[in-house]
Amino acid sequence: MHEERETNDEPRDPPSKATPQGKTLIDCHVHLAALPDSDNGCYISPKTLKSPLFRFLLWKHGLSPDKPREANQKYLADLLTELKASRHVHKAVLLGMDGTYDHNGRYNQAHTDFLIGNDYVLKTAQAHPTEFLAGASINPQRRDAIDEVHRCADAGAILVKVLPNAQQFDPADRKYTPFYRALAERKLPFLSHVGYEFSLIGKDQSVGEPDRLRLALEEGATVIAAHACSYGLILYEKFLPTLRDLVTRYPHFYADISALTLPNRMRMLLHLRQYPELHERLLFGTDYPLSVFHMAAWGRVALGTLRKMIGTKNRFDRQVEVCNGLQLGFRSLGDLLPHSSGMAGH
């Protein structure tokens, strides 16, 4: 095991060539949203269905909660259309969302706001292998968590995503050590939400602190901190020193740039411009279906560059344009994956 961890910790070389379509990027942070139907295994609490954000997303995407099967098909079709039209992004990692579990490791629907099952994620990715990769979601509190790691890895999942604030677990709890060792063994990166959580009902916001990811790193897992460790509360970015320390200490630590153009996380985007030594550890992501804004670039880029950002309607491409315009470097998740997983058409 020790030798495997040392191998897993070595920094990867940047990609040597583009994909056949000339696109080079994988979006590592795309949500597979779905309304519950008769057989997709998904769940949305009544409270979440009534939330302003969820209602806004339904309205924006023209989805009817009264027709879940048709709504799910439309969401997927719209995502595929926008992804295929992108000039830069050739694949997206579809992220599931596990539920909450009690102290015995049993599923607790009463405390679950939103559930996108791994079987639905795997099935969707398998149906569109040219465009999608599967990002399973496994709450380490569930009693079959390690079995689920192996099951999802065997079925083709390429990472595991968690949202501790909503899934009600502390990533720093040492009882999850065997879970992190299983991730390291299967070489599945651990993508964890960082910062305040608005989209779902966060119960304990402190479990979104990046310091709590050190245990997973110490057990040899590759860790990806979502949203570049931004706090998400606009006023200040208290996790910037932690981000810098994690990059220095752990060669298998990364952060994605998803949602950094949102007003509440924009400050971290602007801070990161001043630390080019961190850019090698930043991975491309959008947080689709959330919007990508260009306000961070106002007054900071040439007028022609800003016009290009404004004129770019494709969310994947606008994320690229805004970050490129602000000289925020990043790389693709494909650099971390086996060659065949990161290339289109394989």
Query: Each residue of 271-319: pLDDT tens digit?
Result: 999 999 999 999 999 999 999 999 999 999 999 999 999 999 999 999 9
Sequence-distant (≥ 6) Cβ neighbours of residue 258 within 8 angstroms: 28, 29, 226, 227, 285, 286, 287
Q: Which of 212, 220, 211 is nearest to 244 (CA)?
A: 211
Q: Which of 190, 196, 192, 253 is nearest to 230 (CA)?
A: 196
Q: Tally DSSP H helices, then E strands, for the chain.
A: 14, 10
Residue 167, SS3 per DSSP: helix
pLDDT in tens, 24-77: 999 999 999 899 987 898 999 888 888 887 888 888 888 888 899 999 999 999
Q: How high is the pLDDT of residue 199?
A: 56
Q: How high is the pLDDT of residue 340?
A: 52
Whole-angstrom distance, CA of residue 21 vs CA of residue 88: 9
Whole-angstrom distance, CA of residue 115 vs CA of residue 45: 9
Q: How high is the pLDDT of residue 20?
A: 38
Sequence-distant (≥ 6) Cβ neighbours of residue 327 within 8 angstroms: 273
Instruction: Report the length, in residues, of the chain.
Output: 346
Listing DSSP states for 190-206 in one string gives EEE--S--TTTT-S-GG
Q: Which residue has the tokens 């604030």?
A: 165
Q: How high is the pLDDT of residue 115?
A: 95
pTM above 0.85, yes or no: yes
Residue 81, SS3 per DSSP: helix
Q: Which of 252, 210, 178 is nearest to 12 (CA)?
A: 252
> Which parts of the chain have pLDDT scores under 50?
1-20, 202, 342-346
